[in-house]
Chains A and B, each alone.
Chain A
Amino acid sequence: MAEPDFCELIDELFELDPGTATSLTVLKEIPSWSSLTFVGLIAMIDEEYGIALSPGVIMSSETAGDLEQKLREMLSAGEAA
């Protein structure tokens, strides 16, 4: 499976112009961040990465890069297991 580009996914989910989100984008400062897009983010991660994420993992990730890093760690831990 081709690796999804996390920042592109963030652009799409939060209806940002393509190329807007970077690994330094602060999640909670995205203008369309809301409880609904929060739920959308959990759904997107489940769909693209097959990980049913606990909301706490997102809450403790400041930037898109932080969250992507955590996802990668979970994926490689899953592969190792």
Chain B
Amino acid sequence: MSIVRVENVRLAGLASAVPDFVRTVDDDVERFQSEDFRKIGESIGVTSRRIAPEGVCSSDLCVAAAERLLDELNWDRESIQALLFVTQTPDFRAPATACTLQSRLGLPTNCAAMDINLGCSGYVYGLATAAQFVQGMANGQENGGRVLLLVGDTITHFVSPDDRATAPLFGDAGSATALEFSSSAEPIVFSLGTDGRGLNHLIVPAGGARQPRTKATGIRTVRESGNIRSDEDMYMNGAEVFSFALQEVPKMVRSTLAEAGWTIDEVDGVVMHQSNGIMLKHLRKRLKVDEDNFVIALEGYGNASCASIPLAMTHQWAQTGLRQKRRLVLAGFGLGWSWGGAAVTCNDMAMPELVIYETPQGEDTSTAIKEAA
């Protein structure tokens, strides 16, 4: 695994936002005409989830989170030197959504902006990139080199409502994390890896340059186990994802801990990508993490792709805050296969309440209402 060690960078704050539409297990029972979905919902730990209506983008959720965070931090927007946007669901095929976000958030034109295309591991990769930007840009100046890291997905827009492997599981969310230079910050350690041989088990096959969109790729047909989906929808082989996670996640967490010089008992919180309840419970046992220190935030949200780690942090700490020093281990894994672990010491970190994004009037919400009905 590649180890990245970054000194003198602090996480100043984090905010998360979810859309105001909810879909529940009752909707699944009706849609699939099967009571089995109650049991499935219980097993995966998701009996309701947040859904962005058509027209609401991951960038919109991230802007809502960023506005809330910037208010809380009282940061001068002119002081922000870079904006990174991690997503699988950009506004456009081109240009990078980060460019639109620089302008929407009123950031200065000397601000660097770029997209990072990663899913479940994206928050950790985003942090690793952002932290190095801070270090490179701050010039040793206290509170300098400010970076805004926006991480969000409306992954349900890639999910067929008639695919039982994915429909009951996924939800939408956006987040904003603020980083800056601080000479008193503890080092952050990242442990990153990739195995592209697994890419076909979790993929949206069509719509890119490899398999362009055609009439045929958009047609939903009956696939394995009676699941109905098109080639523009996400395919997930849950058993393969699980097997991959079992092989790589414990190794990654151990490597992250070893590089940080921590034992698992010295960690105040483990926040994994919120894949599903079965997997998280198993990984917790396997790594012998105390239940109180292991964050599970699936219920009410669903698996929110790259935004799941920050969303889980908001869920866990927005009430109490992360003002006192806490050692956290973050673990992202999935899509790619791509994985990243981080050992971060949070201190005096702003943690506003979860933002509920209100869908603007006049936005086309017909899909969401139709699906929910």
Contact = CB atoms under 8 A, between A and B. Distances in A.
A53 interface: yes
Nearest to A38: B239
Contact of A43 (B44, B225, B237, B282): B282
A29 to B, nearest CB: 15
Nearest to B249: A52
A20 to B, nearest CB: 20
Given A35-B165, A35-B239, A46 B246 contact: yes
A54 B243 contact: yes
Contacts of B43: 36
A53 B240 CA distance: 10
A52 B278 contact: no
**Interface size bracket, B side:** 10 to 19
Contacts of A53: 243
A47 B278 CA distance: 13
A73 to B, nearest CB: 18
Given A47-B282, A52-B247, A39 B225 contact: no
Interface in B246-279: 246-247, 278-279
B277 to A, nearest CB: 11
A55 interface: yes
Given A43-B282, A47-B282, A35 B238 contact: yes
Interface string B278-290: 1100100110000
Contacts of A39: 238-239, 242, 278-279
A46 B278 contact: no
Contacts of A46: 246, 282, 286
Interface of B (DSSP majority class):
helix
A55 B241 CA distance: 10
A54 B247 CA distance: 9
A42 interface: yes
A1 to B, nearest CB: 16
Interface in A7-65: 35-36, 38-40, 42-43, 46-47, 52-55, 58
Interface residues of A, number: 14
A36 B243 contact: no
Contacts of A58: 239
B242 A43 contact: yes
B239 A42 contact: yes
Contacts of B278: 36, 39-40, 43
Contacts of A47: 282, 285-286
Contacts of B328: none
Nearest to B36: A34
A42 B239 CA distance: 8
Interface string B23-44: 0000000000000000010011
Nearest to A44: B282
Given A35-B238, A36-B278, A55-B240, A42 B225 contact: no
Nearest to A50: B286
B243 A52 contact: yes
Nearest to B164: A35
A39 to B, nearest CB: 5
Given A42-B243, A46-B286, A47-B285, 20 more contacts: A35-B164, A35-B165, A35-B225, A35-B239, A36-B43, A36-B44, A36-B238, A36-B278, A38-B238, A39-B242, A42-B242, A42-B246, A43-B242, A46-B246, A46-B282, A47-B282, A52-B243, A52-B246, A52-B247, A55-B239
17 contacts: A35-B225, A35-B238, A36-B44, A36-B278, A38-B238, A39-B238, A39-B239, A39-B242, A39-B279, A43-B242, A43-B279, A43-B282, A46-B246, A47-B285, A52-B246, A55-B242, A58-B239
Nearest 6 pairs between A and B by C-beta?
Answer: A52-B246, A55-B239, A43-B282, A52-B247, A39-B242, A38-B239
Interface of B: 40, 43-44, 164-165, 225, 237-240, 242-243, 246-247, 278-279, 282, 285-286
